[in-house]
Structure 1
Amino acid sequence: MLDLNLLESLSALTGIFLLYPETHYVFRCLPFSRYKKKEPEILVDAPYRLDPGRDLPLLVMIKDAHRYPVELKRLFVKLSGHASERTFEFSFNEIIKIPQWHKVVTIPVDDAFRGHVMRADCEITYAIGGALKKAYNDNFEGLSHSALTVFCADEKLPEIKGWMTGDVHYHSSYTDDQVEFGAPLDAAAAMADAVGLSFFAATDHSYDLDDRTDNFLENDPALPKWRAQQEEIHAWNARRQRCVIIPGEEVSCANMAGRNVHALVLGHPQFLPGSGDSAEKWFHTDAELSVADLARRAPEALVIAAHPQDRASWLEKFFIRRGRWTDDDARTAGVHGLQILNGLDNEAFADGLRQWVRLLLKGERRFICAGNDAHGNFNRYRQVRIPMFRLEERDRHQQFGFARTAVFLGSEECTCSNILKALREGRSQITTGPLIDWHVTGEETSALAGGTARGRFLKIHLKARSNPEAGSIQSLKLWSGEIYDRESLLKEYYYNKIYDCEEINLYNISSKKYLRCEVRTDKGFFAYSNPIWIEPIE
C-alpha cells in the first residue's frame, strides 16, 4: 500500500510553492493520476482586494487545450455581499486548441460593495467532444470550487507622497513545468493595477526559461522562452502602462556549501542558467553557477537572495541538494539584498530578519525587500499537494501583491531603471499595509532610508501611516545597531486607535551605527524600514 505521507513529502521535490496545478503530467514509470482529466485545466481568478475606482478584473484561463480541444461557451458571474447581488454574462463561443489561452474580463462594481467583502461565483460553460459541461471557478479534481472572495476597498492602502509599492517576486506563464504554471504578464498587470501596485518583477525560474516552447522537459539553447519574456516586458513598458514590469529571473545557484539556493536577478539583459534543483534530470543536482559566479556574471543587475531562510525538507536536501543562504553567502560581493518576506509572516521571515540584522551589525549594507512568490495565485492558492494523488487549495496564502516592497522615488518617474536604482540604494521598505516615512538630520549631512547621515547631534524625524483596512497603529519602534557590537531598542511608542503618528527625537552620537524602524497595527499588519547609516564627526 502506498504511503501518502511519503508521497506528500516527495511533493516538496517539485519546488517551494506550487500554484495553478499542472494536472496532465504523469511519471513515465507510473502512468497514473487521480486528478488527471481528459480536458484542459480551466480556471477563473480575481484579485484578493480591489482599489476604489477600479472595475473587477476576472482572469479566465485555459491550459493544455492543444491536447484536449474545448469550446468555451460562456461565463456567468454572480457578485454578492452586503445585501447586494449582481449578475453578469459573457459569451465566447470560441473553439480553443492552443497550449495556453486567456482573457481578462472586467465587471463594474457598485458602491454598495465598497468597504465590504464581495463573493464572485463564476460558472463556466464549455463543450468537449460535443458534451456540454460546467465548472465552478475551476475544473480541478477534488477542490472546493467555492466562490472567490474580494475585499472591495473604499480607500486605497496607506499612501505617502513619493513612495510606490510593488511585488518583487512573481512567476508568470513563462514558468511552466511538470507541476505548475503561472498567469500571463498582461493578466498580472491587470491584477496589479486592481490591488494598487505600481510595479512587479517577473522572476520566472531559470530552469523554465531555457525550455522549448512546446516541451517543458527539453531545453532549447536558442532560449525562445527567455527571449519572448524579455520582449513582452520591454514592449509593455514602452507603452507606458500604469503598472511597470521589471524583467527578472529566479536563478538556482550554489551556496558556499554546494547546495542549491535561489537568487532573484533583476534588470539583467542576458540569460543566466540554473537547473540544479529543477528535478528535470534525476540526481543531476549541480548548479551551473555559484552565488559568487552569479554576482560576477551580472555586475550591473540587482542580485537578491530569494526567501533566504526558507527551510528545505530532508527529501529536498537529499534529492535536489537544496539549502539556505548563509550569512557568508549573503555577504558575497555583488549580492545587494535579501527578500526576507515571502508572502507570510512566519518563522522563515523571523529568521531572515535576524540574519539581516547580523549582516547590518557587520557593516554590510544589504537592503530587504518583499514579494509573494505567486504563480498566478491572485486570489486563491491552488497547488499539487501529492503528485498524481492530491491537489489542495488555501485562501489568503501567497497572494500576489499582499507582501509589498515600497520604494521612494520622490519626484522621479516610476520607471524600471528608477525603481532598480531606489532598491539598490536602499530607499525602500517592506510592508503588508502601513508605511513609514522618516529621515535623519545631522550637522553635516541628512539622509533618507539607505543613506548616511553625518554629525554628532542628530534629529530623527519619524512618521507612520495606516488606515482602517490595515488597522490602527499599535506600535512604532526605533532600533539602533552599534557596528561590530549589538542592536538595541532605542525608542518605542504605543498608540490607541490612530492611523497617523509622528515623532521627533534628538540624540548625541559618538560611534558608527545604523538606525532602522518598524511599525505594527492592531490587525497584525506591519512595515520594516531599511536602515539609515550614521557616521559621527569630530
Structure 2
Amino acid sequence: MSENYLGLCLAGMVITGILLTPAAYAEGGGLMLDLTPEVTAQTTDAAMEFQPTYIKVVKIIDRTEVTFWESDITEQEDISIPAPAGKYKLYVQLHGHRTIWELDNEGRGYEVSPSNSTVVPTWVNTYCKDVFADAPWRVQSDKIPILVMVKDAYGICGDYDLGNVEIYLDVACDEDDNEADDTLLETETKWRGVTVDESFYNLYEPGDWYGITYLDPSEHDLRGDVCFHIVIREIGEWLDPDWSAHSHFNVTIVSDTLPTLTDWHAGDTHYHSSYTDNLVEFGFPVEATVEAGKSIGLDWNVITDHSFDVGDTKTADPNHKWNVLKSEVSAYTSESYKLIHGEEVSCYVERVNT
C-alpha cells in the first residue's frame, strides 16, 4: 500500500472499451491515465495478479457531469485520451467489486488546456511495503507530533529493519532526498533495531507498524510555514533489498489558536483511521489521530471508517475489526480530546450497461 492516501493499485490494465467522443482534438489537449508504477515491482504471481477494471471519465460542464469516455481495462499500460479543454474527473471500479472510487484531484478536478496532456496519477499505490513519516498540516501546541509508519512489511514483501530517524529542516523546500543540503534538527534512536514483519506489528494488519516522536519548534526557532525532510534509516544486512526511506512535508507553526466562540468546540466529523485500509487509501492510527488533533487545535473528531473496511475482519467473527476499533476509540478518548465512534456506510447501486 501507499501513503496518505490515496491512490489506486490497478494491476494489469489495457484498454478494451470504446472512446465515446471524437477520436482527436487537434486544438485541444488530452488526459494521460497513468496506470503503471514508477518503480519496478516484484514480479511474483501474487504481485501481478490480474484485476480487470472499469474506468469512466466525465467532463464537468456548468457543475454537471457528462460522460466523456469509458472503458473496461484488461492489461497494464498507460492510456492517452485526446480531450478538449475543460475540467474532468474519473470513476474507477474493479471487476467483481461493488465499490466505485472517485478520482477528482482532491476536489479540484483535472484541468486540460489546449495542446497539453494532463497526467492523472491513478497508480500511487505500489506493491509491497511502504515506509514514511507524516505530521499535522498545522500546529499551535509546543510540540509537533511526527508519525513514522511501516506498511505491508510481510510475506513476499519481506520485513523492514528500522534504524535511526533523522529530522531535517529543508531550508530550500525543494523536497530533495539529499539531506546534505538540509539542516539536521534531531535524531530519534528509540526504534533502532525494531524489525517490522508479520510477527511484530502494532496495528490491525500484519506488517503494519507505527511510532510517534515529537519535535519542539521553539528549540529550533521555527515558526510560520516550515518544510521538513525525514529520513528513516534501514539497517538490514547486505542481502536485505530495502533502503532508507525519505518523507517531505510542510507544517504551519502558529502561536494563535483557531477561531472560537463561547462553548464552541472545534472538531472534524469525517475522518478515516488506520482501520480504513483498501486499494485507495488508509488513515492514521487512532493514537496518532488524537495527537495530531490536539496539536492542530481541535477538541474532538468522529472516526468514520468505511463500512466495507471495518467488516474486513481477519477472524471468524464478522464484528471483530469493528469491536477492536471500538476499544481503541474508548482507550484514547479523554476529557481533553473526545473521539466518537462512527462509520461511513457504503450504499451500492448496480451499474447498468446501455
How far, CA to CA, are the matches of 1:186 and 1:124 in structure 2?
20
Q: Secondary structure at the match of 1:251?
A: coil
Aligned to 2:313: 212
- Cα deviation, 1:188-214, whole Å, max 9, x if unaligned, reads 111101111100000011111111237
The reply to whether residue 104 of structure 1 matches residue 195 of structure 2 is no
Q: 224, 227, 231: which is aligned to 2:327?
A: 231
Q: Secondary structure at the match of 1:136?
A: strand
Matched, 1:244 2:338: yes
- Give the counterpart letter for 1:102 in structure 2: Y
Structure 2 SS opposite 1:212: coil
Task: Indicate which of 231, 243, 252 corresponds to 1:123.
Answer: 231
Superposition pairs of residues 5-24 of structure 1, within 5 angstroms: 5=33, 9=57, 12-13=92-93, 14-16=100-102
The answer (yes or no) to whether the contact 2:91–2:103 under 8 Å persists in 1 is no
Mapped contact 2:55–2:92 kept (Cα < 8 A): no
Partner of 1:113, secondary structure, is coil
Q: Which residue of 2 aligns with 1:364?
A: none
CA distance in 1, matches of 2:183, 2:124: 37
Identity %: 26
Counterpart selection for 1:66 from 154, 158, 165? 154
Specify which structure has the bigger relative contact order, considering alpha-carbon pairs within 8 angstroms and separated by 6 or more residues.
2
Partner of 1:79: 169
Which of 183, 186, 193 is the matching residue for 2:294?
193
What is the letter of the counterpart of residue 232 of structure 1?
Answer: E
Query: Among 144, 151, 157, which residue is 1:56 paired with?
Result: 144
Tell me how many residue pairs correspond in the alignment. Answer: 227
**What residue in structure 1 maps to residue 194 of structure 2?**
94
Aligned 8 A contact 1:210 1:221 in 2: no
3-state SS in 2 of match to 1:103 = strand
Query: Within 5 Å, which residues of 2 pair with 1:264-303?
Result: 276=348, 285=350
SS of the equivalent of 2:255 reads coil
Give me the TM-score of the superposition, normalised by structure 2. Answer: 0.57
Q: Provide, for residues 223-282 of structure 1, a one-character-per-residue CA deviation record: whole Å limited to 9, x for no partner.
A: 110011111112222xx25221101011123xxxxxxxxxxxxxxxxxxxxxx37xxxxx
Q: Which residue of 2 aligns with 1:513?
A: none
State the 1:161 CA deviation.
2.4
Q: In the alignment, which of 301, 304, 312 is matched to residue 203 of structure 1?
A: 304
> What TM-score results when the alignment is normalised by the length of structure 1?
0.38
SS in 2 for 1:110: helix
CA–CA separation in structure 1 for the residues paired with 2:352 and 2:209:
37
> What are the within-5 Å matches in structure 2 for residues 119-518 of structure 1?
119-127=227-235, 129-131=239-241, 133-137=243-247, 147-213=248-314, 221-237=317-333, 240=334, 242-253=336-347, 276=348, 285=350
Helix, strand or coil: the match of 2:244? Answer: strand
- Which structure dedicates a bigger proportion of its chain to strand? 1
Per-residue deviation, 1:34: 9.3
Larger Cα Rg: Structure 1 or Structure 2? Answer: 1
Which structure carries more helix by proportion? 1
1:58–1:105 contact (8 Å) kept in structure 2: yes
5+ residue gaps, structure 1: 20-32, 138-146, 215-219, 254-275, 278-284, 286-316, 320-538
Provide Cα deviations, 1:154-186, integer angstroms capped at 9, x if missing partner: 211212221110000001111112332212111
- Seen in structure 2, the aligned counterparts of structure 1 residues 82 and 126 have a Cα distance that, compared at 3 Å, is closer
